[in-house]
Amino acid sequence: MRVYVSGMSCQHCKIAVEKAFLAIEGVESVNVNLEDAYADVILKSKVEDKKFSDALVDTAYEVVKIEK
């Protein structure tokens, strides 16, 4: 799945989003594309879309769109 994220501008942002998404139960791997502002996420089990927004609630980043 691809999760589009606004607010990312540097390597620190990339790492923060990767860590936040990897902490979600059911996420197997995350690869953030900083330039195009999205994260490719591989799941090992079903994860509700809301979990991605919730993972960024205390950050400067926001989920804009999710493509499955």
Model pLDDT for residues 7-31, shown as the tens digit of each residue: 999 999 999 999 999 999 999 999 9
Q: Specify the pLDDT at position 58.
A: 93
CA 64 to chain centre: 10
Q: Specify the pLDDT at position 43.
A: 98
**Position 32: which residue type?**
V
The predicted model scores a pTM of: 0.96
Domain ranges, residue 51 = 2-67
Which domain CATH number covers 30?
A: 3.30.70.100
The 10s digit of each residue's pLDDT in 28-41 is 999 999 999 999 99
Q: What is d(CA 24, CA 48) in angstroms, rounded to the nearest whole number?
A: 10
Confidence of residue 64 (pLDDT cuts 50, 70, 90): very high
Q: Specify the pLDDT at position 25.
A: 98
Q: Can you tell me whether residue 23 is helix, strand or coil?
A: coil
Share the mean pLDDT of the chain: 98
Please state the domain count of the chain.
Answer: 1
